[in-house]
Amino acid sequence: MDSTATSIESKPAVKEIKPINFLYFRTETTLQELVNFIPVAKDLVKEAASLNLHVTGACHWHYFGFTGDASTPFTLEVALPVASIVPDYDGNFHFKRTESFKCVTLTHEGGWDTIPGAYETLMAFIDEHNMEASGVTREIYVNVDFQDPTANVTWIQTGIR
């Protein structure tokens, strides 16, 4: 494979992700507007630092109710894993601890313009194994390279019931 090609490093697998604490931002948006929320991750890191919180993982984007239709609004959460939740927080963001998350997952390497192929692979796996998608998807940005998108590594988790 040449160095500019995109690969899916892992085959789909069923996993249960344990609960995670998040500092997060939530909005209603559409696929075309997603690029507007890239700076939110930096703001979450700044807020976590100002609260003296330990960041415990890579930035997540959680999608609720995304149907694949580019014009249909859905809920987006840009979420930063943190060690603890500030109980009386009164800032620009929110805190939560998730429940366990049962999902089909794989790792996508390459630009986000090629990520639809990874989703096709996930959905085919879900269909082949007679599973039902829950309508919740997580993308965890293991590596983001704005200069060389072929170096991006995104861990995709599609929720199942």
Q: In which element (H, E) is residue 119 found?
A: helix 115-128
Q: How many domains are there within the chain?
A: 2
Residue 3 has pLDDT above 70, yes or no: no
Alpha-carbon distance 145 to 104, whole Å? 25
pLDDT of residue 67 exceeding 90, the answer is no
* One-letter identity of residue 137: T
Query: What is the rounded average pLDDT of the residues 16-30?
Result: 97
| pLDDT of the residue at 68 | 77
In a domain, 6, yes or no: no
Q: Are residues 141 and 159 in the same domain?
A: yes
**Residue that finishes a domain, picked among 47, 76, 98:** 98
99-121 in b/e form (b: 16+ CB < 10 A) is eebebbbbbbbbbbebbeebbeb
Please choose, from the candidates 98, 89, 100, 18, the residue with its C-alpha nearest in 3D space to the C-alpha of residue 53: 89
pLDDT tens for 24-47 read: 999 999 998 999 999 999 999 999
pTM of model > 0.75: yes
Q: Are 70 and 43 in contact (CB under 8 A)?
A: no
> Which range among 1-5, 21-25, 83-87 shows the weakest confidence by mean pLDDT?
1-5
Would you say residue 151 has pLDDT above 80? Answer: yes
Structural domain range at position 136? 100-161
Query: What pLDDT was estimated at residue 9?
Result: 47
Give pLDDT tens digits for 81-131: 999 999 999 999 999 999 999 999 999 999 988 999 999 999 999 999 999
Q: Kindly state whether residue 158 falls inside one of the protein's structural domains.
A: yes
Distances (CA, A) of 133 to 17, 106, 160: 15, 15, 4
Give domain status of residue 126, yes or no: yes
